[in-house]
């Protein structure tokens, strides 16, 4: 939470204006000029402190443009952030995303100082399952490998055989060479993968509170209104939504689709900020925005990033025994790699 008694950089002087002018050029289509003087002093200070303290800011695709485009060192989907956390040479990693992403960074870089600007940035999928649930499932289905989406806690990952993300889920499931897997916790991702593979999928009842809100009727109404529209959807959406979409993939998969195909008009059936960030990089593509916000992602702000740096808060701490077990399941995934 923000302490309103604290001071934050707010002077939009000529030094700040000059030092941030190139950054504003990059976001001017999305951030109105009148708003820039509120962001620029914080952006300037964060970027100065980051260099002084050897900090890397790893930012998920759902963060707002002033964070995504103006203070981040690495941006991407969950899978890319995991690779970068493992390979980073910074002393401190700040994760601008949700808690499971910061925990994954800590598991992969246990000797680094890993911070999250707001500890309340959670995830409905991560909340949907506990380590005890997995232990019970393993008793019920002995010998069946457990594939767990990275949107889970470190305790859950420690009970897992191999992790996956939306960018490699099918690839991970099929790489195991078995006829049956336990696939947790996202019910819709499990159904969407089951539709593409002969491997039998035993699923759980978790849902993403953002993606479950989209309906096929809503998407069909957009398609009726804009005949030439290309629909890109995240696989956390229901199978009915995926069935009326032209492409389903991770946040990076959707972003790459736009970059590579340059459709005239597109809808990204996912979190709001994604379209803003991708629109900036693809000025010739028109974005129709069916907007659902992730309230957890939106807890991160420039002020909280600034506080994270100046007060070295909030440190991610994970028990060593859990790190050692959870790391195996993430390392297995990173060895298998990406499929989309």
Q: Which residues bind ligand SF4 (CB under 6 A)?
A: 98, 123-125, 151, 208-210, 236, 271, 294, 296-297
Task: Write out the DSSP string of 211-266.
Answer: GGG--HHHHHHHHHHSTT-EEEE-TTS-HHHHHT-SEE--HHHHHHHHHHH--SEE
Q: How far is CA 150 from CA 112, 184, 335, in A?
A: 20, 9, 15
- Between 43 and 129, whose beta carbon lies closer to ligand SF4? 129
Residue 209 binding result from ligand SF4, ligand 13P, none, given CB thresholds of 5 to 8 Å by partner type: ligand SF4
b/e for 9-36, b at 16 or more Cβ within 10 A? beebeeebeeebeebbeebeebbeeeeb
CA 171 vs CA 11, 140, 176, 208, 322: distances in Å:
50, 25, 9, 21, 26
CB of 77 to ligand 13P, least distance (A): 3
Give 154's Cβ-side CA count (13 Å radius). 21
Work out what residue 159 binds among ligand SF4, ligand 13P, none; the CB cut-off runs from 5 to 8 Å by kind: none
Partner from ligand 13P, ligand SF4, none contacting 273, C-beta within 5 to 8 A by type? none
165 binds, among ligand SF4, ligand 13P, none (CB under 5 to 8 A by kind): ligand 13P
In terms of CB distance, is 78 or 92 closer to ligand 13P? 78
Lateral strand order in the sheet of 286-288: 247-248, 230-233, 265-269, 286-288
Among ligand SF4, ligand 13P, none, partner that 251 touches (CB below 5 to 8 angstroms by kind): ligand 13P
Compute the least distance from the CB of residue 262 to ligand 13P, in Å.
21
Phi-psi region of 322 (alpha: psi -120 to 50; beta: other; left: phi over 0): alpha
**Closer CB to ligand 13P, residue 148 or residue 151?**
151
Q: How far is the CB of 308 from ligand 13P (least distance, A)?
A: 20
The CB-of-270 to ligand SF4 minimum distance in angstroms stands at 8
Handedness of CA 318, 321, 325, 328 (dihedral sign): positive
Query: Closest separation between CB of residue 78 and ligand 13P, Å?
Result: 3
134, interface contact from ligand 13P, ligand SF4, none, CB < 5-8 Å by kind? none
Q: How many residues does the chain have?
A: 340
Q: Beta-carbon neighbour count of residue 224 at 10 Å?
A: 9
- Find the shortest distance in angstroms from Cβ 196 to ligand SF4: 20
- Shortest distance, position 199 Cβ to ligand SF4, whole Å: 23
The strand pairing partners of 114, in sequence order, are 93
Interface with ligand 13P in residues 29-88 (CB under 6 A):
61, 77-79
Q: How far is the CB of 306 from ligand SF4 (least distance, A)?
A: 23
Q: Which residues pair with residue 183 across a beta bridge?
A: 147
Instruction: Please give the Cα distance from 227 to 213 (Å, whole number).
Output: 23
CA-based R_g, the chain, Å = 20
Question: Which residue in 104, 124, 152, 251 binds ligand 13P (CB under 6 A)?
Answer: 251
Minimum distance of ligand 13P from residue 49's CB (angstroms): 27
The one of ligand 13P, ligand SF4, none whose footprint includes residue 245, by CB under 5 to 8 A per kind, is none
Number of residues lying near ligand 13P (CB under 6 A) = 13
Binding mask 159-198 for ligand 13P (x = CB under 6 A): ------xxx-------------------------------
Chosen from ligand SF4, ligand 13P, none, partner binding at 78 (C-beta under 5 to 8 Å by type): ligand 13P
Distance of CA 82 to the CA centre of its chain: 10
> Which positions lie near ligand 13P, rule CB under 6 A?
61, 77-79, 151, 165-167, 208, 234, 236, 250-251
């Amino acid at each position: 939470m923000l302490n309103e008694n604290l001071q934050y950089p707010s002077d939009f002087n000529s030094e700040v204006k000059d030092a941030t002018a190139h950054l504003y050029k990059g976001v001017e289509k999305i951030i109105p000029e009148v708003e820039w003087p509120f962001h620029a002093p914080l952006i300037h200070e964060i970027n100065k402190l980051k260099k002084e303290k050897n900090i890397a800011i790893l930012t998920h695709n759902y963060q707002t443009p002033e964070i995504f485009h103006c203070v981040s060192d690495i941006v991407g989907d969950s899978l890319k952030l995991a690779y970068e956390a493992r390979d980073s040479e910074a002393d401190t990693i700040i994760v601008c995303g949700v808690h499971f992403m910061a925990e994954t960074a800590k598991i992969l870089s246990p000797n680094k100082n890993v911070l999250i600007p707001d500890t309340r940035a959670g995830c409905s999928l991560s909340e949907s399952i506990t380590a005890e649930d997995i232990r019970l499932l393993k008793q019920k289905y002995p010998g069946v490998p457990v594939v767990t989406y990275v949107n889970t806690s470190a305790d859950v990952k420690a009970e897992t055989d191999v992790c996956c993300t939306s960018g490699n889920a099918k690839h991970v499931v099929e790489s195991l060479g078995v006829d049956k897997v336990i696939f947790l916790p996202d019910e819709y991702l499990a159904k969407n993968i089951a539709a593409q593979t002969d491997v039998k999928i035993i699923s759980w009842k978790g849902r993403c509170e953002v993606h479950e809100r989209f309906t096929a009727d809503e998407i069909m109404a957009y398609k009726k209104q804009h005949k030439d529209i290309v629909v890109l959807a995240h696989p956390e959406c229901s199978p009915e939504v995926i069935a009326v979409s032209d492409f389903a993939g991770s946040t990076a998969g959707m972003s790459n689709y736009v970059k590579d195909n340059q459709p005239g008009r597109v809808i990204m059936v996912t979190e709001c900020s994604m379209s803003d960030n991708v629109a900036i990089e693809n000025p010739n593509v028109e974005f129709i925005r069916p907007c659902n916000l992730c309230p957890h992602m939106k807890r991160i702000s420039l002020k909280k990033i600034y506080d994270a740096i100046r007060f070295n808060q909030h440190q991610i701490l994970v028990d060593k025994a859990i790190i050692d077990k959870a790391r195996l399941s993430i390392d297995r995934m990173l060895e298998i790699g990406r499929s989309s």
